A and B are shown apart, each in its own frame.
Chain A
Amino acid sequence: MGKISNQELIQKISSKFADRVSTFSEPMGLLTFETSKEEIIEVLTFLKNDLDFNFLTDITGIHYPEQEMPIGVIYHLHSFRQNVRVRIKVFLEEQNPSIPTAFNLWRGADWMERETYDFFGVQFEGHPDLRRILNMDDMVAFPMRKEFPLEDPNRVDKKDFFFGR
């Protein structure tokens, strides 16, 4: 099988999901579209089983505080046989964002979802073991959200006092 074009993919996805997917774009040639948390598992299942996107490259998050739906969950899929990738974005509300888990489609989603939970606080419903993976267990904040200060508040050697201010 050769490489499938983005236009073909858009056509196949649109004819299946119609207005349940939106905002198609191709930044740097990478097909990108948005969907909702109600549709995401159906979209992923369709891509995996019918369009042969066998590999889940990554699940990650993003935070745009100025948007109405500020927390994003981003899926990257790769089809080895067709040599093509897609990116799917789902935006969620800021308070207690939650989305169904992709663990049942790809076991590799386990740690990716834990990481997204760790840094953005997204609850993945149905995940078998959703706890922090990289940060300390006793951390209470979600550090990649924009309101979180990145600098360590315990550090004293940068205080103005030491610079005569």
Chain B
Amino acid sequence: MNAAARTAARAWTADEMMTVTAARHLRDGAVCFVGIGLPSAACNLARLTHAPNLVLIYESGTVGTRPSVLPLSIGDGELAETADCVVPLPEIFAHYLQAGRVDVGFLGAAQIDRFGNLNSTVIGSYARPSVRLPGSGGAPEIATHAREVLVVMKQSPRSFVPQLDFRTSCGYLDGGGARRASGCPGSGPRAVITDFGVLRPRADTDELELAAVYPGVAVDAARAATGWPLRVAPEVEVLAAPDPRDLACLRDLHARTQAAHAAPVRIALPAKL
């Protein structure tokens, strides 16, 4: 069955399944460093469902935000207006992240390798890149200092690669305990949530293996979408389809977001400038 037929046959999209799966990884009360896009949707879904005391920190300095609609960028006014406090950027990175006050960091990237290291800098060589990507932002420090990291990425042989073009942020380095030995304070990627299922690191080698798939996803399909010979856990869990209440909540959140951002921007200029 191709992707379109699969979508038609079920009541949810791959994006929704990824979002719900990411949300399920968040325990109530955890302090999360959130990015824009799917992680932001996942964190707010968790906050609106099973984890009402989730603490959301966006790297723009908003701490404890409870946005009623999803932000367009990390600088959205909605994040500042619904926050417990808004702090300057040096404080977010030093007092909150570097000092070890963040439980979960969300990351994505253009490339990931089998040890969960991430590239968001360049495709090709650094000096003459074929694609210049946006760059690191807060990712290297999030990857290092958050107690654990959740990676959210669509799986394809182009993005799940045997060798990164550039290591922007560290996962388990070369595996086999290398990260721990390096003195890195956080424990590294706990899960890589893809559009096929969930990859987790093996305890002994730190290598990512396929631990779970979504309903209707074949293990072989997930392996074919990986640029290295993907190892498969002895027992691959088949994750439950999204709870209809979670799906309704997520769709409602997206609908509210769209409506809130539909109005055209108007600026009133004084009569005499």
Partners in one complex: no
Interface residues of B (CB under 8 A from A): none
Interface residues of A (CB under 8 A from B): none
